[in-house]
Every structure is written in structure tokens, then in C-alpha cells.
Amino acid sequence: MLKTSIEKPDMTALMEVSIMGKIQDIFQECYPKYEKTKPVAAHAMKAAWKISNCRTKKLGGHIQKCPDDHYMQIWYNSCKHRSCPQCSGIQKEEWLHKQSEKLLDTGHFHVVFTIDHNINYLWLKNPKILTGVLFEAAKEALFGMLENEEKFMGVTPGMIATLQTWGETLIFHSHLHCLVTAGGITKDKKWKSEKKGYLLPAKKLSRVFRGKFIDKLHNLIYKGKLKRPEGMSYSELHRMLKRCRKKKWAVNICEKYPYGEGVVKYLARYIKGGPISEKRIKYWNKKEVKFIYKDNKNGGKKETIKLPTDEFIRRYLLHVPKPNLHVVRYYGLYASCKKTELNKMKAELGQKVGEADIDISWQEYCEQVGEKTGDDQYTSKCPVCGKELIIMGRRITAEELESVKNKFIIKGAKMSA
């Protein structure tokens, strides 16, 4: 229940903060009809509901008020779903803060592992299992080569891997983005750096990765642990995998970055917020959505594409991860169980060992966003007297918020829908 101090408000201005995004507008307007005509998985249905109702009255809200009763703000609660573009900003910031405490002060490589598109049909039938296979095959291939003392560095690196299942036009395209240290810990627990700005031969890594991935799939098929695509027999499935083994798989090792922060910021784009950002959408209506994409077959040139609204929603929901699916994983020196070794390597590199301050309040984050965008609705101070606003409730229901508003004396109030 609300505290007594706000049951009889005597303020001079009320602001109702409910920020709508283009993707939320599309779901609010078009998803109810889509759900009636198209099959939607339970986890995707939940995501659609949260995206539609994020920061609206249905989720209740928070109240901030001036201690002298000049001003009050109502903030509607975020849904905190990882596929919602509305409330992913602060979660990405918190994740970036955690990584800044973890990263070694050394060069890093950005490595991308991509599977053959023919496996997509099998993936969509077994998303959780094949996600695990992709992470394991990439890790085993990269670590197996780097730990080879005769041919390569003979070290165990640190690696952060993030799953991305979409392409620029939101088609299904599973691949891993990995941040890998330019060096690692040797068997005698010493740090060893690479010397020539070179990690591994990409073609060799690609072949090893492809072999490990397909071998794992064959083993799962023999054990009867994989669901087959509709109409495909086991023999046809094995033949398909044999064809995949003969193809070239794309593994890309980018040039070394002096530090890891740049790649971490890149990875952060894929951990929260869904497969497309608001700024890429040019316009939409009930019939179609037009958005910008980079044509990677044409040097990354920016193009536009129009999709029927139903197809846009289908593609968006295709990339909603199933519950409890870990799309970010840590290996080697960056694994949670290797903190002692990590701190030892930090000391060897002359790096301070300490805990990063990862607590960011949503008010602080919104105020920072307001400063960047020039939006005056993000404020933590009373616009009348300049005093810090105080929080008068963190989980207030929609009905309670309406009660407060009805008792409120509005004098030239600024309202936003």
C-alpha cells in the first residue's frame, strides 16, 4: 500500500512518464490480430505481451516527489524482458560494468563462428541442444589449437561468447561473437602474449570447428536426442551433415584490438533488447514495416527493406530465446571458477585487482540518457525548488497510481502519454 505521506498530495505539477517506442507501437497495434491467426510459442507469446505493455499502466509504477510537495513524477515499470528494446539500456550498462571489472588489460581479438545455413532446420527443432553444441564446438576448436605448444601459443586464453541468431534482415542466422584475449596462461601459470598481432589461422580454425560441430550432431542423432525436421529421415539427415562437412564454414578473426572494451560494447548489443534497434525502423503501418539494414554482400552498404507487418512480427519473435537459455558464456580465464588465476594474471600485467561499482539506479540511467538526448523529462530534481526528488513507492499498482492522480491538484501540469 502507499505511504500516508502521499495519500493526500498537495503538489503543483504532475508528470506521467510513459515512453513509447516504434517496436512497442507495432506490437500494441498489430500483435493481437497476429496471435489469432498465426501459431505462437508460449515463450514468444509472453515476450510479445511484455513488449506491448512495458512502461504502461498495466505494469504499475514508481512515484518520485518533491519533499516540499511542488512536483511529482509517475514512472511506469519496465517489463525487464531481454527481448524488449524499451528497457534494455540499463541492463546493458550493468553488464558492461561487470565486464570492465573482469577484462584483462591486454589486447583482444573478435572472433565470429558461423554455422552452415542448412543446419537451421535442425536448429529450429532443437534450439537449446544446438545452442550448447555451437558454444562447445567453438570453445573446443579455439582452445584446442591455442593450447597446442608445438604449433601455436600453448596457452589457455580468456573468452566471452555471445549467441546471435539473426541476420541484418532478421532472417535466422545462428553464429557466435567471441572476445578472446591476445595471449593466455601457460601450464606453469605464467602470462604469455602473442607477438605478431596474430591469433590463429582462420581457415584451419574453421575446419576444426566444422568437424567438432558435425561430429557432435552425429553423436546426438545416434543417441536419439535430436528431433528431425518434418519429413526428413535419419539417413537423409546424415547425408545432409556429410554435405555440410564438405562446405567452407565462415570463421572470421578480426584484427587485434588494443583493449577489450570496444568488443565488449559490440557484444552488449546482442545480450538484451531484441534483434533490431528502434533507430533502424524508418516507418511502419498496419500493412508493412520499413527498416534499414547493412548489405554485407555489398561492402556493408546501407539499404532499406519492407516487410509485411505480420512477417516482421514473426521474424522478431523467432529470435526470442527460450527460458533459461544462456546466450552469454565465459571460458578459460574469464570463467567464474578461474577467478584466482585471473587475478594472478592481472597482477602480472600490472593491473589493479578490485571490484567494479555495478550498481546503477534506473533514475541515474534515465537522467544520463536525458542529458545525452536533451530530453527534460528525465530529471531527479524538482523543477520548482531544485531539491532532489524522493521515491515514495517502488511497486505501486495501476489502481493505486490512479487513486493518487485523482487526488492530485494539477496546476499547469506537464503530461505525457
* Domain assignments of the chain as residue spans, ordered by start: 4-84+360-407, 105-275+319-348
SS (H, E, C) the chain: CCCHHHCCCCCCEEEEECCCCHHHHHHHHHHHHHHHHCCCCHHHHHHHHHHHHCCCHHHCEEEEECCCCCEEEEEECCCCCCCCCCCCHHHHHHHHHHHHHHCCCCCEEEEEEECCHHHHHHHHHCHHHHHHHHHHHHHHHHHHHHCCCCCCCCCECEEEEEEEEECCCCCEEEEEEEEEECEEECCCCCEEECCCCCCCCHHHHHHHHHHHHHHHHHHHHHCCCCCCCCCCCHHHHHHHHHHHHHCCCCEEECCCECCCHHHHHHHHCCCCCCCCCHHHEEEECCCEEEEEEEEHHHCCEEEEEEEEHHHHHHHHHHCCCCCCCCCEEEEECCCHHHHHHHHHHHHHCCCCCCCCCCCCCHHHHHHHHHHHHCCCCCCCECCCCCCECEECCCCECHHHHHHHHHHCCCCCCCCCC
Predicted local distance difference test score (pLDDT) of residue 393? 64
Predicted local distance difference test score (pLDDT) of residue 414? 38
Predicted local distance difference test score (pLDDT) of residue 390? 82
Per-run averaged pLDDT (10 residues), the chain, 417 residues? 37 50 92 96 96 89 81 83 85 82 92 95 94 98 96 95 95 95 95 89 96 96 90 88 94 89 82 90 94 90 96 97 93 95 93 63 55 52 83 73 62 36
Predicted local distance difference test score (pLDDT) of residue 412? 38
Predicted local distance difference test score (pLDDT) of residue 225? 93
Predicted local distance difference test score (pLDDT) of residue 234? 86
Predicted local distance difference test score (pLDDT) of residue 411? 41
